[in-house]
A and B are shown apart, each in its own frame.
Chain A
């Protein structure tokens, strides 16, 4: 069964360093998303991506964040200068269409900023 894969599963980084979280969405899906969940809090939307551009982003997704689909298969989230409060589980998801179709999630990358 097709699935969304994320790497790495766990990333530890020092405050101020750049990190890139990688995702391979399901191949025929058109919409891609990043969500995060800070420990003990709800799942929060970061950004959606369609047709090679950002279609929507939340207030969390500030200038420190960027997304790319460099080669038609990978979908990356870059955090330029990590802060302690960026520590969270980051989930990538993809869907065939948008808000009325189910999203398929990856298993997440746990980012720990020290």
Chain B
């Protein structure tokens, strides 16, 4: 069983704050790391798929970095807005399986 951990479990920030959270995964046999954003009552929406150590990806105010050697990825949100409130899921895919394994998610609430 692959261990994918996300921290913190939940996070409350004020509008305008920048924030970040972590996804930890096994450092061996890495293939890909996915980030998804999941708003209540909607389906998970893909943010990034990262495959290379040192990768940095950006979409608007959201960016992510990847360190496959130490087994972690950070997701950053710059200048959080209330509409950023969601659960952010990461999913790790190893070389031994086609299928990404999900973490439990970080629940972000941005207060106006």
Contact = CB atoms under 8 A, between A and B. Distances in A.
Interface of A: 4, 31, 33, 35, 41-45, 48, 55-56, 91, 98-108
Give the interface size class of chain B.
Answer: 20 to 34
Contacts of A43: 44, 89, 102, 105
Contacts, number: 56
A99 B98 contact: yes
B73 to A, nearest CB: 15
Given A42-B105, A99-B31, A105 B44 contact: yes
B99 A42 contact: no
B99 A33 contact: yes
B49 interface: yes
Contacts of A101: 49
A24 to B, nearest CB: 13
Given A42-B105, A100-B93, A91 B43 contact: yes
A103 B93 CA distance: 12
A67 B99 CA distance: 17
Nearest to A104: B46
B97 A99 contact: yes
A99 B32 contact: yes
A56 B93 CA distance: 13
B49 A42 contact: no
Contacts of B41: 107
A56 B99 contact: yes
29 contacts: A31-B98, A42-B102, A42-B103, A42-B104, A42-B105, A43-B89, A43-B105, A44-B102, A45-B99, A45-B100, A45-B102, A55-B98, A56-B99, A98-B98, A99-B31, A99-B32, A99-B97, A99-B100, A100-B32, A100-B49, A100-B51, A102-B34, A102-B46, A103-B100, A105-B36, A106-B43, A107-B41, A107-B43, A108-B43
Nearest to B92: A99
B77 to A, nearest CB: 19
